[in-house]
Amino acid sequence: MSQNEHDAGHESPIKTPKQLIIVIAFAFLVPILIITLLSQFVANIRGVNMDSPAMSPDAVTKRLKPVGDLAFADAGGGATAAPRSGEDVYKTVCSACHAGGAAGAPKFADKGGWASRLKEGQKMLVGAAIKGEGAMPPRGGGADLSDLEVERAVVYMANSAGAKFKEPAAPAPANAAAAAPAQDKAAAGKADGKKIYETTCAACHAAGVAGAPKLGDKAAWVPRLRTGMNALYANALKGKGAMPARGGNAALADAQVKAAVDYLAALAR
């Protein structure tokens, strides 16, 4: 190896004064930067008060707790669901007519409208609600309602108008299954559009209450049928205009609502 080749192999990467200045600057700045970052890190650690309530085991566990807990329902039947309150039944079923006084139904809390009915007494009013009377279908259109739930709804509405009816007590847990109406079994089977219409939809569609197209009235149904069945299903499920969601019967399954729509549409074609 020649002397020139040996010198080239050990040649310094710093060839100009500018490069030397840059190297010297970095040699001073990098250690200073590292020291500064370390000092900030130590200061942050010291700033944490380990005795603070926020650092207690319970507080830390709470912050680490998942947003939601996954629960598994008892698929084996387990305990029967508790009967609904009168207010709940009113809001999900009865309000479809009693909130606005559709088809002559006495409005909620209207003492004048309820006066003559309250004179009949609790037993008579409950019996009429269960069997149906006038434009009101059996159980107010809520085919899945038990006698107890119907009576609770009647008491809730009557008392809002000044009555002092007694709230019926819930049956013992052992008798809860017997209190369920026979319609529960039917609801579990194939949806019967005609039956759903008779127990729920007829309250408005039989007489055309609040602009509802009457059963079999082709002229009234033509513009609605033109929108397509999917649109009709959506309106019935979600509600539209004066019609509440699911015709006012929140207990109806999607398949049952659609079956009722199919029945109404078939008779209008």
Domain closes at, from 187, 203, 237:
187
Out of 152, 187, 222, pick the residue that ends a domain: 187
144 plus 160 within the same structural domain: yes
198, 177: one domain: no
Q: What is the CA radius of gyration of the chain?
A: 37
Question: Hey, how many other C-beta atoms are within 10 angstroms of the C-beta on 196?
Answer: 29
Does 176 share its domain with 200?
A: no
Does residue 217 have a pLDDT over 60? yes
Q: Is residue 42 part of a domain?
A: no
Domain boundary among 155, 187, 219: 187
Q: Is the pLDDT of residue 6 over 60?
A: no
pLDDT-derived band at 172 (thresholds 50, 70, 90) equals low
In one letter, which amino acid is 200? Answer: T
Same domain, 157 and 197: no
* Residue 207 banded pLDDT, cuts 50, 70, 90: confident
| Pair 178, 262 in one domain | no
CA–CA distance, 93 with 87 (Å, rounded to integer):
10
User: Residue 25: inside a domain, yes or no?
Assistant: no
Give the domain CATH number at 103.
Answer: 1.10.760.10
Q: Same domain, yes or no, for 152 and 222?
A: no
Judge if 104 and 166 occupy the same domain: yes
Mean pLDDT across 154-182: 75
User: In this model, does residue 189 exceed pLDDT 50?
Assistant: no
Residue 36 has pLDDT above 90, yes or no: no
Would residue 104 count as lying in a domain?
yes
Poorest-pLDDT segment among 27-36, 230-239, 258-267:
27-36
Has residue 11 been placed in a domain? no
**Per-residue pLDDT at 80:** 57
In a domain, 165, yes or no: yes
DSSP-assigned states of every residue in 191-255: --HHHHIIIIIHHHHTTTGGGPPPTT-HHHHHHHHTT-HHHHHHHHHH-BTTBPGGGG-TT--HH
90 shares its domain with 181: yes
Name the average pLDDT for the chain: 77
Query: Do 174 and 158 sit in the same domain of this protein?
Result: yes
Q: What is the model's pLDDT at position 170?
A: 77
The pLDDT assigned to 75 comes to 42
Q: What is the pLDDT of residue 118?
A: 92
Q: Is 37 within the bounds of a domain?
A: no
Each residue of 40-91: pLDDT tens digit? 665 555 554 555 555 556 655 555 555 545 444 444 444 457 889 999 999 9
Instruction: Report yes or no on 92 lying in a domain.
Output: yes
Residues 108 and 161 grouped into a single domain: yes
Task: Give CA–CA dist 205/197, Å, rounded.
Answer: 9
**Domain interval for residue 214:** 190-266
Assign 179 a pLDDT band (cuts: 50, 70, 90).
Answer: very low
Quick check: is 38 in a domain? no
Overall number of domains in the chain: 2
**Does residue 38 carry a pLDDT above 90?**
no
Of 66-70, 91-95, 104-108, 245-249, give the lowest mean pLDDT range. Answer: 66-70
| Predicted pLDDT of residue 197 | 84
Tokens 């010291």, located at residue? 46
- Is the domain of 200 the same as that of 247? yes
Q: What is the pLDDT of residue 110?
A: 93
Specify the pLDDT at position 178. Answer: 47
